[in-house]
Amino acid sequence: MAVKLADDKREWYKTAVFYQIWVRSFADGNHDGIGDLYGVYDKLDYIKSLGATAIWFNPLYPSPNADYGYDISDYCDINPEFGDMDQFKKVLNRAHELGMKVVMDLVVNHTSDEHPWFKESRKGGDDNPYRDYYIWRDKPNNWDSLFEGDAWEYDDVRGQYYLHLFAKKQPDLNMDNPKVREEVKNILRFWLDLGVDGFREDVINFISKKEGLPNGIGFIPVIGQMHNYKDGPHIHEYLKEFREVCDEYGAVQIGEGPMTTVDSALNYLSGRTKSMDMMFSFDHMTADCLFTEYMHRPFKLIRLKKALSRWQYKLADRAWNSLYLENHDHPRVISRYGSEKFHRASGTCLATAYMFLKGTPFIYQGQEIGMTNIRLKSIDDYVDVSSKTNYNKYHLKESVASRLHRIHLSSRDSARTPMQWDSRDNAGFSDVKPWFFVNPNYKDINVAAEEERPDGILNYYRTCVKLRAKSKTLIHGSYKEYDPENPLVYMYERNLGKESYIIICSFAKENIPFMLPKGFAGHTAKLVLTNYPRKRKTGEIGILPKKGLRLSPYEAMVIKMKRK
């Protein structure tokens, strides 16, 4: 039995840096072209070398892979493609030995339709204990799923429709059923007893649906319906039950909240209804799109700054932020918010822009070497269910080339190409043909090549992590944005007592002048980080110039100074 820990025992997450692993594409250790836990084991030292202190694993459980692991058929085992329970324990123990925590993905809004609960539930029957594990109706409402058209699918066996907010093979669990909540608590205990340190909780703001499942109204289908299943009436009640289990172990909880607003996130993060230590928001991921990446619009720095600042200011001392620019659901950030042409400069600039915000940084596999989007030739080459639906459902009047271009910009598959380790065949990911296409730029963009580049993206990430780790100000200091209407430069300050760090990032593709805001010029300051080491020297102390700075394309810097 675990001992009850005081709340602050889990506060390790505030100083942590997470590395996120989507195992299928990370490293293949047993020569079948699929990434696995043998591969992960061999790379733990590499992860440690980044300065990461925690790992988040995307789902490792048995899954028919309709949504690559997010359709789970057994919550308490390891997908045989990835290894087995013994191998998982080896990875867990070794990670712990190296001083890294391990966080698992908890996906309980839905299961796979091949989960035994669903197989039983389909049979119906009055004394079937699984009858009400899912959401069954004689007549569907007008909801759309996020992945595959209509949110309801007729089941011949049961003679009723079941709800699936995502793919057809992902039926939604009925969280209003106390038995289902007991199952969730058992899953939590199972992994906590094994020694994992917490959970990233998938679409957790969707698990309680509005009573009676009313029709949605509104212009854009999914958005008009969402208020019927987002932040539902019992959400905090249910999450409190899960929180109590996690409290017994001091386990960290990180909620994924698609389309969550900062105000609603605060209900999960603070006060009486606090159930989460951090939330993943999508706000700042819409700087080049509307609602989903498929609805593309040109990148605007102002949109990114506004979203980041909104969360920084609102959470401030009330709650803790999670910081990310990439994960398995979004295309690569250099291709989106940076520039493939200014690859190194924009990759390091983006790192600077987000790593020093207040909160816990997450680095997604491949982000640290600047991996970019893949451009496949035909929609048949893509494997992600949502890409296929988008292609086949929207913009049908456009040419094939134009729809494919939209997929190039938006597909989640760009985040899921095999990790580029070196310049050997298959990018050193596997010694046989990988399960998915390797990005053809792997000969130049890979870990081994980056290790040889002192000024490369990889070593820059390492420097950022180190700088943050040794500074109380960068971890706990307050946030203030300057010049918010500037369309090309992001500037903010982190302050604690008399110490301040000033972060300046240019997103311009050419040289630009930048006037420092009032109160900065004439100050003595020290440059502590630059992504233009040939132009500027770190460690140099100087006076901030009255005539302003001349910034190179995607130039970023961190300056330290004293405040009165």
Which tokens in the block code for residue 336? 């989106």
β-strand partners of 360: 322
| CA atoms of 89 and 78, how far apart (whole Å) | 11
211 is catalytic: no
- In eight-state DSSP terms, residue 26 is T
293 is catalytic: no
Binding status of residue 32 toward Ca ion by CB under 5 A:
yes
12-31 residues in contact with Ca ion (CB under 5 A) are 28, 30
* Those residues with Cβ within 8 angstroms of residue 325's Cβ, 6 or more apart along the chain or in another chain: 333, 337, 350, 354, 364, 367
| CA atoms of 187 and 193, how far apart (whole Å) | 10
Residues, the chain, total?
Answer: 564
Give the CB-nearest residue to ligand GLC.
70
197 makes contact, choosing from Ca ion, ligand GLC, none, with CB < 5 to 8 Å by partner type, with: none
Nearer to ligand GLC, 187 or 203 (CB): 203
Residue 64, helix vs strand vs coil: coil
323-362 residues in contact with ligand GLC (CB under 6 A) are 328-329
Nearer to Ca ion, 316 or 432 (CB): 432
Nearer to ligand GLC, 171 or 418 (CB): 171
Nearer to Ca ion, 36 or 197 (CB): 36
| CA atoms of 274 and 252, how far apart (whole Å) | 12
Binding status of residue 34 toward Ca ion by CB under 5 A:
yes
Binding residues with ligand GLC: total (CB under 6 A) = 10
Nearer to ligand GLC, 57 or 421 (CB): 57
Binding status of residue 22 toward ligand GLC by CB under 6 A:
no
Is the CB of residue 58 less than 8 Å from the CB of residue 75?
no
Which tokens in the block code for residue 355? 């790593």
203 makes contact, choosing from Ca ion, ligand GLC, none, with CB < 5 to 8 Å by partner type, with: ligand GLC
Nearer to ligand GLC, 346 or 387 (CB): 387
Is the CB of residue 39 less than 8 Å from the CB of residue 27?
yes
Nearest Cα neighbor of 102 from 12, 3, 4, 1 is: 12
The residue type found at 19 is Y
139-198 residues in contact with ligand GLC (CB under 6 A) are 166
Nearest Cα neighbor of 151 from 110, 202, 117 is: 110
**Residue carrying the six token digits 């100074």:** 561
Residue 316, helix vs strand vs coil: coil
Q: Give the nearest distance from C-beta 80 to Ca ion in angstroms.
A: 10
54-83 residues in contact with ligand GLC (CB under 6 A) are 67, 70
Give the N- to C-terminal CA distance of the chain in Å, as an integer. Answer: 52
For residue 443, how many other CB atoms are within 10 A of its CB? Answer: 12
* Those residues with Cβ within 8 angstroms of residue 283's Cβ, 6 or more apart along the chain or in another chain: 261, 262, 307, 310, 311
Q: Which of 67, 148, 153, 202 is catalytic?
A: 202
Pairing relationship of beta strands 360-364 and 18-21 according to DSSP bridges? parallel
Pairing relationship of beta strands 524-530 and 18-21 according to DSSP bridges? unpaired
Binder to ligand GLC among 27, 91, 203, 251 (CB under 6 A)?
Answer: 203
28 makes contact, choosing from ligand GLC, Ca ion, none, with CB < 5 to 8 Å by partner type, with: Ca ion
* Those residues with Cβ within 8 angstroms of residue 260's Cβ, 6 or more apart along the chain or in another chain: 205, 230, 231, 279, 281, 282
> For 34-100, where are the E strands, in sequence order?
54-57
Is the CB of residue 371 less than 8 Å from the CB of residue 439?
yes
Mutual angle of helices 301-315 and 262-269, in 10-degree steps: 30
Q: Give the nearest distance from C-beta 319 to ligand GLC in angstroms.
A: 21
- In eight-state DSSP terms, residue 55 is E
183-222 residues in contact with Ca ion (CB under 5 A) are none
Angle at 489 between CA 15 and CA 551, to 5 degrees: 105
Binder to ligand GLC among 102, 107, 254, 308 (CB under 6 A)?
Answer: 107
| CA atoms of 142 and 151, how far apart (whole Å) | 8
Tell me, residue by residue from 291 to 330, as one string, x for binding to ligand GLC by CB under 6 A and - for no binding.
-------------------------------------xx-
Q: Which of 67, 71, 197, 256 is catalytic?
A: 256
502 makes contact, choosing from ligand GLC, Ca ion, none, with CB < 5 to 8 Å by partner type, with: none
Nearer to ligand GLC, 201 or 555 (CB): 201
Nearer to ligand GLC, 43 or 328 (CB): 328
Binder to ligand GLC among 28, 148, 202, 450 (CB under 6 A)?
Answer: 202
Binding status of residue 384 toward ligand GLC by CB under 6 A:
no
Q: Give the nearest distance from C-beta 67 to ligand GLC in angstroms.
A: 5
Binder to Ca ion among 10, 21, 24, 36 (CB under 5 A)?
Answer: 36
Tell me, residue by residue from 223 to 262, as one string, x for binding to ligand GLC by CB under 6 A and - for no binding.
---------------------------------x-x----
70 makes contact, choosing from ligand GLC, Ca ion, none, with CB < 5 to 8 Å by partner type, with: ligand GLC
329 makes contact, choosing from ligand GLC, Ca ion, none, with CB < 5 to 8 Å by partner type, with: ligand GLC
30 makes contact, choosing from ligand GLC, Ca ion, none, with CB < 5 to 8 Å by partner type, with: Ca ion
Please give the residue ranges that form the binding site for ligand GLC (CB under 6 A): 67, 70, 107, 166, 202-203, 256, 258, 328-329
Footprint on this chain of Ca ion (rule: CB under 5 A)? 28, 30, 32, 34, 36
As annotated, the active-site residues are: 202, 256
